[in-house]
Amino acid sequence: MYFAYGHEADLRYVIDVARRRGCLLYLPVITDFRHSRMRFVRYRTDSVMRVNRYGIAEPDRRHAEAIPVRKLDLVLLPLVAFDERGWRLGSGAGFYDRSLHHLRAGRRWRRPTLIGVGYECQRVARLQPDRWDVPLDGMLTERGLRYFTHHAHSMESS
């Protein structure tokens, strides 16, 4: 989950429904601006919140429980653009890619399902991924949820 910033798709309703259904929710919290790092911290209705330097509300990590990314079931990611192969373009700082990239390495990897959230008008013909980019497993827009095939994530087909 995330709290929307700027023109990102707003997930407040989804967050509210998930919370009422008893889901454990974790929001990204920027821990290192210089190296574009973030952690995922437990969010509750009574969470102490703060506004980071980008103007995004996030749980105060000093008062909340963090979880290793590999233990999350699902990560909903904001984006600026996406393509049909499952590549996403973020806002440019690389926080999500740097926080998730290590999950691509290793043979016995357990990782969350990565779903981009945006609008059909953000679809582009083709994005050129960088070696550190992390592909999406699916994309949620106003037209519904669609999953990408694993072979679509091959860097060689870029």
Specify binding-site residues for ATP. Answer: 88-96
Q: Structure tokens of 129?
A: 């991924």
C-alpha 133/C-alpha 124 separation (Å) is: 17
Specify binding-site residues for substrate. Answer: 8
Q: Structure tokens of 37?
A: 């790092």
Q: Are 77 and 88 in contact (CB under 8 A)?
A: yes
Specify binding-site residues. Answer: 8, 88-96
Q: Please count the other Cβ atoms lying within 10 Å of the Cβ belonging to residue 109.
A: 10
Q: Are 42 and 64 in contact (CB under 8 A)?
A: yes
Q: Structure tokens of 152?
A: 């679509």
3-state secondary structure of 61: helix
